[in-house]
Amino acid sequence: STVTTSVDEILTNLQKQCATPLPVLRHVADSMANDMRAGLAFDGGSDLKMILSYVDSLPTGNEKGLFYALDLGGTNFRVMRVQLGGIDQRVIATEAEQVSIPQELMFGTSEELFDFIASGLAKFAEKESGKYHLLEGTKRELGFTFSFPVKQTSIDSGILMKWTKGFAVSGTPGKDVVACLNEAMKRLGLDMQVSALVNDAVGTLAGAKYWDNDVMVAVILGTGTNACYVERMDAIPKQPTQTAHSGTTIINTEWGAFSTGLPLTEFDKQMDAESINPGEQIFEKTISGMYLGEIVRRVILRMAEAGSLFGNSIPEKLQTPFSIGTPHICAMQQDTSNSLDTVGSILFNEAGVESKTGARQIVMEVCDTISKRGGRLAGAGIVGILQKMEEDTKGLIFGKRTVVAMDGGLYENYPQYKNYLHNSVTEILGQKLSENIVIEHSKDGSGIGAALLAAANSKYK
Ligand code: ADP
């Protein structure tokens, strides 16, 4: 019938436009490498900001003593303490706590927000047991993971460019967030100071490298996405004066802003046009957790409107942006029953539609198409980073073991996505080269990573 033809046509077109055959993957990987180079040449040279982390001492394993970490990246903040025992004992003890930020503080003043955070930290510090002790002659130091756009000016300072993720705190943009936190701790009489300001991808890399020195790249795939890697100082033309003891630093790529050569559909373009940041974060909008479910919703809404996928009704829920989340499309893809009961109940609960088995099968295909494209493109991005590193330093990556540390709820929880990502890397590099590339989950490396960076950049060293 004409009805099924129409749905089939939409699906066939979608699959064609989302296809990521090897030449497309190669082109994305090559473009990533080129755009990285352009971003390192000068500020504004590329979609990729290639931000200097000012990390010139990576954790070695020799770090000793008590260090704190604070992670502020969303509606919660996490505090942590860790007792480091050096090369043999490594992490002797850790403790962590999570505090949620009251809604009103997200719209308040900078002092109110930082006073709240400092008081959470102070309460946590009061509960320090006998297991934890400072090295003689030192004070409490903190690694501060701050996942908002900052213009970093040194390892322990950075200017907030703007709040994102629903924060609208007055007075912070244009200020040094480390100074804001240090001043709040001082107001409270908390004897602690920030030694390292860290982006969460950078924290993940540092945390993973502490356990495994072959870690060279870290990738976050959660609500958003980002990647960072170990770079040679002399391969950063835009910062010729920076000196590092080690000759290497970490570059935060901000790869979510990448956009070259991506296979995009009308659904992506409409979602982007209606987003709060049109034209920005295109790679993020194609591969990260915030958007995959929404792309699927847009496709099946079109199938419902143009092809009566669910009969004649188009429920309001199906028309509501972000009513279907990435965890929902993930759960649908786990359904192995003949009648796809889970798919049916998710469609009913989240989108308000009644569905027959045939329609559920189509929805499954849509979910697979979108997660496959996302995972494969993320894999191509990783290969692009590895390629860039290898081109600059022959033999650095290929022909020996190299680890890519992964973190984030999308990578962690979406098995199909993760498989597509891994297969894409193997496909681009070939069996032989990819045998040496280890892509592995680094569970909550970023918290400990920030504490380790505080230790590696201690003011008492
Ligand atoms: P964030 O990136 O917000 O700091 P996480 O790394 O925990 O935090 O990632 C959360 C994101 O991971 C969610 O927004 C969602 O997109 C994705 N996610 C969480 N659970 C699942 C799941 N079961 N299946 C697929 N994606 C998931």
- In the reported structure, the alpha carbon of residue 308 is separated from the centroid of ligand 1 by a whole-number distance in angstroms of 31
CB 204 within 8 A of CB 403: no
Return d(Cα 206, Cα 449) in angstroms, integer.
Answer: 5
Residue-wise pLDDT for 2-31, tens only, equals: 555 699 999 999 999 999 999 999 999 999
What letters, b where the CB count within 10 A reaches 16 and e where it falls short, cover 192-212? bbbbbbbbbbbbbbbbbbbbe
Residue 4 has a pLDDT of 56
Strands (E), 147-247: 150-154, 157-160, 192-198, 215-221, 225-232
Amino acid at residue number 97: E
Q: How many CB atoms lie within 10 A of CB 273?
A: 9
Tokens 């559920």: give the residue: 360
Asked if the model's pLDDT at residue 408 lies above 60, the reply is yes
Question: Looking at domain 1-53+211-442, does it have CATH number 3.30.200.20?
Answer: no
Q: How far is the CA of 364 from the centre of ligand 1 (A)?
A: 20
- Residue 242 pLDDT level (bands cut at 50, 70, 90): low
Residue nearest to atom 13 of ligand 1 (CA): 223
The two structure tokens encoding residue 236: 């950063």
Q: Which residues line ligand 1 (CB under 6 A)?
A: 73-74, 222-224, 289-290, 326-327, 330, 408-410, 413-414
Is 107's pLDDT higher than 70?
yes
Which of 324, 410, 443 is the best mutation target for the ligand 1 pocket, counting ligand atoms within 8 Å of the beta carbon and taking the most? 410
Higher-pLDDT residue of 214 and 149 is 214
pLDDT in tens, 435-457: 999 999 997 678 899 999 999 99
How far apart, in whole angstroms, are the C-alpha atoms of residue 270 and residue 238?
36
Amino acid 191: pLDDT: 96
Q: Which whole number is the average pLDDT over 288-296?
A: 97
Residue linked to tokens 């910062």: 239
Please write the tens of the pLDDT for every residue from 168-208.
Answer: 999 999 999 999 999 999 999 999 999 999 999 999 999 99
Whether the pLDDT of residue 212 is over 60: the answer is yes
List all residues 6 or more positions away from 161 whose beta carbon is below 8 Å from its beta carbon.
148, 149, 150, 151, 173
Average pLDDT over residues 119-141: 96
Name the phi and psi angles at 168, rounded to 5: -140, 55
| Rounded CA separation 217/72 (Å) | 22
pLDDT digits (tens, 9 = 90+) for 259-268: 999 999 999 9
Measured in whole angstroms, the distance separating CA 202 from the mean position of its chain's CA atoms is: 10
Cα-based distances in Å from 263 to 22, 266, 458 = 13, 10, 45
pLDDT in tens, 333-372: 999 999 999 999 999 999 999 999 999 999 999 999 999 9
Nearest CA to ligand 1 atom 7: 409
DSSP classification of residue 190:
-
As a whole number, the mean pLDDT across the chain is: 95
- Would you list the domain boundaries of the chain? 1-53+211-442, 54-198
Q: Which tens digit of pLDDT belongs to each residue from 57-83?
A: 889 999 999 999 999 988 889 999 999
State the Rg of the chain over Cα: 23
- Confidence label for 1 from pLDDT (cuts 50, 70 and 90): very low
Residue 246 is predicted with a pLDDT of: 75
pTM of this structure: 0.94
The pair of three-digit structure tokens given for residue 91, joined into one six-digit string: 């992490």
- Residue 307's identity, in one-letter code, is G
Return the ligand 1 atom nearest residue 292 CA. 16
Q: Which CATH number fits domain 54-198: 3.30.420.40, 3.40.50.620, 3.50.50.60, 3.40.50.10800?
A: 3.30.420.40
Cα 428 to ligand 1 centre (Å): 27
Amino acid letter at 234? D
Which stretches of 222-315 are assigned E, i.e. beta strand?
A: 225-232, 248-252
pLDDT at 19: 98
